[in-house]
Structure 1
Amino acid sequence: MPFRSKDTLSAWLDEFAASGTGGGAVAFVADQDPVDGVDSGLVIFPLANATTSVYLAPIAVGVPDWRVTFEAQPEVTELSPDSVYDLCREISHAADLCAFLQRKSVEHMAQLAAAAQS
């Protein structure tokens, strides 16, 4: 099963949430039509302290590396110092999730390679 499938990514998000590392943030796998028969692997990471959209995705087909993307903001965001700290924590959790998904992708690809050699 490819690591970009919604089922695989949902299971990984559940595992990440259960670890407590995400600070209670609720990321989810986007519903998308596969492109050329391949799921995109798009994970949405909602921010409570900013109006921008943040998502995580693998950088290319067959590559386990992931990136966090911040879309342009539709409006200016003004925050108190406490809210800036909260936003920093959210972004840190997004980075933690991105690193987790990358580790899981590397492990998954290694398992597939080992199975192909047996």
Structure 2
Amino acid sequence: MPFRSKDTLQAWLAEFDASGAAGGGVAFVAEQDPVDGVDSGLVIFPLANATTSVYLAPRAVGEPDWRVTFEAQPEVTELSPEAVYELSSELMHAADLCAFLQRKSVEHMAQLAADAQN
């Protein structure tokens, strides 16, 4: 899918960052080998206040829906109340980014459909 290309996703991340919505996040598009010639669209969202990995990715080929995935934690995480607040803020920014990528994907697919009809 075109919206899964690294160039497109990097442009969308730059747009998200420029809007100020990122909250200082450091999301990036993962380097991956294409599967069947298609980029996977994997976006990594590092968390400073947790030991788990979080990533964002389209739900399935041909769908604009995105999901946030939390990988299994290798160890127990103990946090102070302040650190939990900070983690909550990080997760809010991850959710905002996921919603933004989904919105951009819907717009992108609508534009492709409109272009195909013309």
Given the two structures, how large is their TM-score scaled by the length of structure 1? 0.99
Deviation at 1:51, TM superposition (A): 0.4
1:53 aligns with 2:53: yes
Match of 2:102 in 1: 102
Secondary structure (helix, strand or coil) at the match of 2:75 reads coil
1:68 aligns with 2:68: yes
Moved over 3 A (4+): none
**Percent identical across equivalent pairs?**
85
Q: Which amino acid aligns with 1:54?
A: V
Match of 1:35 in 2: 35
Q: Which amino acid aligns with 1:99?
A: A
Deviation at 1:22, TM superposition (A): 1.2
1:2-26 CA distance string (max 9 Å, x none): 0000000000000000001110101
Match of 1:5 in 2: 5
Secondary structure (helix, strand or coil) at the match of 2:2 reads coil
Q: Which amino acid aligns with 2:106?
A: V
Match of 2:92 in 1: 92
Given the two structures, how large is their TM-score scaled by the length of structure 2? 0.99
User: In structure 1, how many angstroms separate the alpha carbons of the residues matched to 2:22 and 2:83?
Assistant: 18
Q: Which amino acid aligns with 1:40?
A: S
1:113 aligns with 2:113: yes
Structure 1 unmatched runs, 5+:
none
Q: Which amino acid aligns with 2:76?
A: V
Count of matched residue positions in the alignment of Structure 1 and Structure 2 = 118
RMSD value, Cα: 0.8
Deviation at 1:96, TM superposition (A): 0.1
